[in-house]
């Protein structure tokens, strides 16, 4: 198991003033172990919700992914924080942040070399070494955080790992000098990390027994899941509900409410199928209105309409108790809004569910419903009943199509720009 990180004492944030009694009781009533998970292809805005919920939880834990997740959150003074490995609960002084066993800490270089090796059919990873790290874990030559405590055996483990990379990749330069330098580097890391290393499986289960409230923060999203996503254009971990148990060592029966975070439209980074993608100018409009450029890499994201077929599939896999619809404000620029409601094969045969077969996915036709836009700025709206009727209609149509209630609606990047429904 990996490490726990104590929160920084640098920020003193208060509960968002716009909280009504209802919103506070809604958050208070979340289960002892709750989770916030991405419901599309990532970048839905999970960080903001986790940051808001964190002050009602004792612990915020990450269970999968690595520094490829890039949460952007703004504190109440509007200061921007871009987080990668550390859970978004870190801005909250009283929250303890845990990085669980399912998380990987990257080894730079190899990811880029693997992408180069795959040449034209590249996956579009963030090149943060996450994939290679997970492959090492699975082929069992990975190095665990607890190995940093044993500097007598550490060099040999590192040698096995680096020799393996050198034998795989021609451009990976490795020799005895490099091993010596790397071991020295890791000795320094080990000293700094030692106070934060705990057995997280014991820690989490002990915290559950002590009735501590735990919020699990998902990175990436189910459509990027190694099993359920659009394979091979996926991440190397399980960002869906199952990853909570395998990445923290806690039992399925203790996991309660799961909130799915879904953008009011869809975005995707890198390659892979994207049925509701808008190409050309419409896509540009969404990209610029929604500032759809990667937090970690700055890469422009592909944009498109909300895909309800994919969302239903994701809700099924995760059993979400509610949804957080984010970035509804971004759609204010559109005079009409489309929702992808069903798929058909080219010959007109309906497709029952989101297909795992990529060939089928690439060839299908999406059927859309068109709803009126609201053509007004909603970023200062804080009560559901104050949203324009057309915006309410959009929210309620999604709830009806998906069958899961939307309890939180994001209307801006700030902490307070959230409507409780």
Interaction between residue 329 and ligand GTP (CB under 6 A): yes
Show the tokens assigned to 228.
């359920």
Q: How far is the CB of 186 from ligand GTP (least distance, A)?
A: 27
- Among 131, 273, 283, 413, contact with ligand GTP (rule: CB under 6 A): 413
Stretch that binds ligand GTP, among 200-208, 249-257, 301-309, 404-412 (CB under 6 A): 404-412
Stretch that binds ligand GTP, among 63-71, 143-151, 297-305, 347-355 (CB under 6 A): 63-71
Show the tokens assigned to 131.
């994939």
Q: Is 71 a catalytic residue?
A: yes
Q: Is 152 a catalytic residue?
A: no
Choice between 48 and 128, CB closer to ligand GTP: 48
Q: Which residue has the tokens 């795992």?
A: 356
Stretch that binds ligand GTP, among 1-9, 108-116, 203-211, 408-416 (CB under 6 A): 408-416
Q: Which of 51, 56, 58, 71 is catalytic?
A: 71
What are the b/e assignments for 46-61, b being 16+ CB within 10 Å? Answer: bbbbbbbbbbbbbbbb
What are the b/e assignments for 279-301, b being 16+ CB within 10 Å? Answer: eeeebeebbebbebebbbbeeeb
Check if the beta carbon of residue 219 is closer than 8 Å to that of residue 67: no
Choice between 70 and 249, CB closer to ligand GTP: 70
SS3 390: helix
Query: For residues 242-301, which are near ligand GTP according to CB under 6 A?
Result: 295
Interaction between residue 220 and ligand GTP (CB under 6 A): yes
Interaction between residue 51 and ligand GTP (CB under 6 A): no
Q: How far is the CB of 188 from ligand GTP (least distance, A)?
A: 29
Interaction between residue 38 and ligand GTP (CB under 6 A): yes
User: How far apart, in Å, are the Cα atoms of 1 and each of 4, 104, 300, 410, 412?
Assistant: 10, 11, 35, 35, 37
Show the tokens assigned to 51.
């940051």
Choice between 45 and 304, CB closer to ligand GTP: 45
Separate counts of helices (H) and strands (E) for the chain? 12, 17
- Among 45, 132, 242, 275, contact with ligand GTP (rule: CB under 6 A): 45
Q: Which of 43, 51, 164, 257 is catalytic?
A: 43
- Among 2, 3, 27, 43, contact with ligand GTP (rule: CB under 6 A): 43
Q: Are strands 350-351 and 322-326 parallel, antiparallel or unpaired?
A: unpaired
Check if the beta carbon of residue 123 is closer than 8 Å to that of residue 358: no
What 3 state SS string does 247-276 have?
Answer: HHCCCHHHCCCEEEEEECCEEECCCCCCCC
Give me the residue whose beta carbon is nearest to ligand GTP.
410
- Among 69, 226, 258, 381, contact with ligand GTP (rule: CB under 6 A): 69
Separation of CA 18 from chain center? 26
- Among 314, 410, 415, 421, contact with ligand GTP (rule: CB under 6 A): 410
Choice between 236 and 326, CB closer to ligand GTP: 326
> Binding marks (x or -) toward ligand GTP, 361..400, rule CB under 6 A?
----------------------------------------
The CA distance from 370 to 163, in Å, is 56
Q: How far is the CB of 193 from ligand GTP (least distance, A)?
A: 23
| Site size with ligand GTP, rule: CB under 6 A | 24
**In terms of DSSP H, where are the helices of 125-280?**
130-139, 154-168, 176-193, 200-209, 242-248
User: How far apart, in Å, are the Cα atoms of 358 and each of 82, 148, 273, 276, 361?
Assistant: 33, 41, 7, 15, 5
Which residues sit at the interface with ligand GTP, rule CB under 6 A? 38, 42-48, 69-72, 219-220, 295, 326-327, 329-330, 410-413, 417
Task: Show which residues are catalytic.
Answer: 43, 71
């Amino acid at each position: 198991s990996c490490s726990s990180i104590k929160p920084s004492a640098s920020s003193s944030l208060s509960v968002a003033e716009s909280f009504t009694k209802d919103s506070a009781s809604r958050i208070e009533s979340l289960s002892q172990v709750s989770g916030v998970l991405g419901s599309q292809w990532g970048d839905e805005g999970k960080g903001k919700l986790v940051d808001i919920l964190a002050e009602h939880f004792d612990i915020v834990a990450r269970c999968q992914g690595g520094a490829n997740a890039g949460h952007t959150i703004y504190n109440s003074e509007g200061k921007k924080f871009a987080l990668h490995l550390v859970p978004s609960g870190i801005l909250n002084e009283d929250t303890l942040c845990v990085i669980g066993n399912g998380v990987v800490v990257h080894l730079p270089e190899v990811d880029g070399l693997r992408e180069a090796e795959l040449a034209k059919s590249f996956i579009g990873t963030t090149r943060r070494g996450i994939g290679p790290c997970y492959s090492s874990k699975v082929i069992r030559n990975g190095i665990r955080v607890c190995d940093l405590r044993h500097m007598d055996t550490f060099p040999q483990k590192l040698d096995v790992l680096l020799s393996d990379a050198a034998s795989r990749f021609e451009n990976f330069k490795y020799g005895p000098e490099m091993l010596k330098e790397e071991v020295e580097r890791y000795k320094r890391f080990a000293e700094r990390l030692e106070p934060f290393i705990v057995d997280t499986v014991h820690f989490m289960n002990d915290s559950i027994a002590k009735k501590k409230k735990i919020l699990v923060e998902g990175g990436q999203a189910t459509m990027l899941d190694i099993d359920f996503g659009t394979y091979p254009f996926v991440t190397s971990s399980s960002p869906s509900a199952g990853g909570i148990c395998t990445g923290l060592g806690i039992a399925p029966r203790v996991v309660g409410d799961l909130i799915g975070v879904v953008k009011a439209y869809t975005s995707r980074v890198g390659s892979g199928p994207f049925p509701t993608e808008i190409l050309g100018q419409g896509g540009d409009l969404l990209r610029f209105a929604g500032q759809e450029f990667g937090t970690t890499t700055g890469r422009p994201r592909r944009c498109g309409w909300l895909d309800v077929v994919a969302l239903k599939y994701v809700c099924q896999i995760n059993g979400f108790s509610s949804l957080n619809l984010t970035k509804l404000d971004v759609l204010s620029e559109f005079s009409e809004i489309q929702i992808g409601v069903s798929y058909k094969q080219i010959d007109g045969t309906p497709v029952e569910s989101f297909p795992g077969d990529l060939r089928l996915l690439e060839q299908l036709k999406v059927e859309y419903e068109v709803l009126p836009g609201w053509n007004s700025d909603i970023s200062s709206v804080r009560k559901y009943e104050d949203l324009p009727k057309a915006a309410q209609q959009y929210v309620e149509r999604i709830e009806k199509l998906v069958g899961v209630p939307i309890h939180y609606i994001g209307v801006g990047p700030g902490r307070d720009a959230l409507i409780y429904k």
